[in-house]
Amino acid sequence: MNPSNPQPEADAGEARQQAQATALRLLARREHSTLELRRKLQARSIDAGLIDEVLAQLADEGLLSEQRFTEAYVRGRCERGYGPLRIRAELRERGIGDGLIEVYLSPWSECWPESAEAQRRKRFGEALPQDFRERARQTRFLQQRGFSGEHIRALFDEP
């Protein structure tokens, strides 16, 4: 470093500060996975090395947490009526590992049949489908919401 030209060091410090401020603004809105935050910072043309530094610092400070993100995401999607298959796929897209996904999905396992029924009733009413075509339509809807074949079959089987 040339002592007569301290500009590059100042620019690097300013770039790091801006990257960190951007990451904090994004985290203030909602929890993010590391992969999500990385993609958003890359979209803002921030240097990859700088992104790594900022993400590591945020994780060290406890401001960026895969566990907290996964817990919040699972809770939010469950409350909106999505099933385990869809939630699992969405978390994988966001860079969350299968082990962590299972930790946060398993407490909800008892709720899936009730949630599937609530979504079916909300969309199609109280009456069960009387013909194959309507049953297939309701089945496709529930599959798109992320419910398993087991959950769906349990809805339509006579008690």
Q: Is residue 1 part of a domain?
A: no
Burial readout 112-128 (b: 16 or more C-beta within 10 A, e: otherwise): bbebbeebbeeeeeeee
Domain membership of residue 133 as a residue range:
112-156
Say yes or no: 58 and 91 in one domain.
no
Considering the entire predicted model, what is its pTM? Answer: 0.85
The total number of structural domains in the chain stands at 3
* CATH number for the domain harbouring residue 119: 1.10.10
Question: Is the Cβ–Cβ distance between 123 and 155 less than 8 Å?
Answer: no
- Mean predicted confidence (pLDDT) in 26-31: 95
User: Is the pLDDT at 134 greater than 50, yes or no?
Assistant: yes
Tell me, yes or no, whether 138 lies in a domain: yes
State whether 15 and 59 are in the same domain: yes
